[in-house]
Structure 1
Amino acid sequence: MERPSSNDISSAKAVMLGALASGVNGPTWLVLKIIFLLLGVCLTAMLSLAFSASDFIIAGHVLLLVIIGAMLFILLNGFLAQTGLVAVEEQMKEMGILNNEGIEKGKRN
């Protein structure tokens, strides 16, 4: 039986597995970092608009959202530094996908 290597698995499939299986794989963590970057860009734009409009109540609320987002990213980063990333193959094996693909490939030959 031939096992699929990590190069055979698409990034979209790896992210989907990361969302459904336990643990976080590399592609899922990359997507999360990109999402946090985009969230930071949006909140920074909102903060600059609130300051330019001289509406300090909204600026305070947006600043609170910036702090919450930054703390969430820092805590997630620290948690993953302690636990480590999971290989995509391990997640496939846990969900039972890896064995099924190998059996299907064997039946086709």
Structure 2
Amino acid sequence: MSQVGSAPAPTWFVLKITFLLLAFCFTAMLSLAFFSSDFMIIAHVLLLVTIGTVLFVLLSRFLAETGLVPVEQQMEEMGIHKIEATEKDKGN
């Protein structure tokens, strides 16, 4: 996975934290489902856990394939330059 400098991109860091909190919530839901002893609730929570896990794995693989691109490079590829943005702000 391509990273800018030595620190990971802030967006990827926030995604990791979000998925970690989601896993914590799913763990709590699964424990409550087991205590209720209702098979349908357990099945639904297991389905949610599976969907969340697949989403995280697919997102991780996608970012590993494409890499993280700095904002400056994205702006340059789209034809937006910092000088044009500052001139536009001064003109308004």
Q: What SS is found at the alignment partner of 1:29?
A: helix
- Which residue of 7, 22, 27 maps to 1:44? 27
* Unaligned stretches of 5+ residues in structure 2: none
**How many residues are matched?**
82
Task: State the TM-score, normalized to the length of structure 1.
Answer: 0.63
In the alignment, the residues of structure 2 paired with residue 86 and residue 59 of structure 1 have an alpha-carbon distance, to the nearest angstrom, of: 40
After superposition, the C-alpha distances for 1:2-37 in whole angstroms (9 at most, x for unaligned) are xxxx9xxxxxxxxxxxxxxxxxx8111111111111
Task: State the TM-score, normalized to the length of structure 2.
Answer: 0.74
Percentage identity across aligned positions?
59
RMSD: 2.6
* Unaligned stretches of 5+ residues in structure 1: 1-5, 7-24
Deviation at 1:39, TM superposition (A): 0.8
Q: Runs ≥4 in structure 1, deviation > 4 angstroms? A: none
Aligned match of 2:50: 67
In the alignment, the residues of structure 1 paired with residue 54 and residue 32 of structure 2 have an alpha-carbon distance, to the nearest angstrom, of: 22
